[in-house]
Amino acid sequence: MNAIDLFAGCGGLSKGFMDAGFNIIVGVDNDEAALRTFAANHNGAKALKADLSKQETFDEIKRIAGNKSIDVVIAGPPCQGFSLTGPRNFDDERNKLYLAVIEMVKQYQPKGFIIENVPGMATLYKGTIKDEILRRFTNMGYNITCKILCAADYGVPQLRRRLIFMGIRKDIGMPKFPDAIFNSENYRTCRDALSDLPSLENDLGAEVSDYVSEPQTEYQKLMRKQCNTLHNHVGTNHTQMVKDTIALVPEGGNYKDLPEGWGESRKFHVAWTRYDGNKPSNTIDTGHRNHFHYKYNRVPTVRENARLQSFPDDFVFLGTKTQQSRQVGNAVPPLLGEALGKMILEIIGDKNEKN
């Protein structure tokens, strides 16, 4: 079955759908570096830089798809506009990117769709935004539900929570979310994810380097696949003061554990956070200044953050290191995407020949 990815970024969600068995036709975004990464990692899928609020973009997607059916639409649109416009201004110009997803589904009538967003959207304006989205898709002929999912429940070594909308065309079936595979008793941990990667204690590494040990956990084997070359594992050249400050933070600690007079420049809830190697990481963000390796006195590399996001090692990030970090932080974890993709296939698969 075929899928298109809107607001694709580097393509974490579509990577998961690809691993679930989908053919990704096109990924649309306006971030040049992210699209270069998308193009390099999605088996020939087209990376399209375009404005999703314009009809000509829809026409171009149709041209790229050609005679292929678009079975599923997946999307991670920004929702900042809603926080400015309020529930009664759903059709405000500032919400045009979210409205573009609704228009895309209306025009293509796919068998199903997935929309991903931040958990806060569920309660924004006492849930009126969420309810309006559910109402509009229901009126367009879809059975739709939404739920906040935690990526760690699906094998991602990260406590990342995301609001997921799933819609299934009414003539096909009902949406259903995949059951959790892991729980707090057996979540994959930072150590499970990272302990086989070079420490970079004596050098900063390189964009392309070698592994220095065999994989030590089942998750590391899963991430390496058939890779024999390590990409994107480059350290940050911290000042001595920063390194000395990190050294004072115990595993699992943060700025509250620093002696008086240390780390004064950063005092907010995630400042100077050192990961606990025996737990999943916190949510990977688009920066790389406030979270530190559970063992080494540095921020995680792009590859380490990619591992914590469940990107396999053969998924190579392009662009500057800052651009790569933003791509990783903005992405949906592929293992979460794969679980959603398999669930949608299960729901609509047996109807594929009939519709």
Nearest Cα to 95, choosing from 85, 107, 108, 110? 85
Out of 10, 79, 146, 190, pick the active-site residue: 79
Phi and psi, residue 127, nearest 5°: 85, 5
Q: Are 280 and 157 in contact (CB under 8 A)?
A: yes
Residues in the chain: 355
Q: What is the CA radius of gyration of the chain?
A: 21
Residue 30 sits at φ, ψ, to 5 deg, of -120, 10
Instruction: State which amino acid sits at residue 233.
Output: H
Question: Which positions ≥6 away from 25 have C-beta within 8 Å?
Answer: 2, 3, 4, 45, 46, 64, 65, 68, 70
Number of Cβ within 10 Å of residue 126's Cβ equals 9
Query: Which residues sit opposite 29 in a β-bridge?
Result: 49
Max CA separation in the chain (angstroms): 69
Question: What gap in Å lies between CA 333 and CA 318, rounded to an integer?
Answer: 18
Burial class (CB in 10 A: 0-12, 13-18, 19+), 173: middle
DSSP 55-80: HHHHHHHHHHHTT----EEEE----H
Q: How many Å from the N-terminal Cα to the C-terminal Cα in the chain?
A: 12
d(CA 306, CA 312): 8
Whether 79 is catalytic is yes
Active site residues: 79
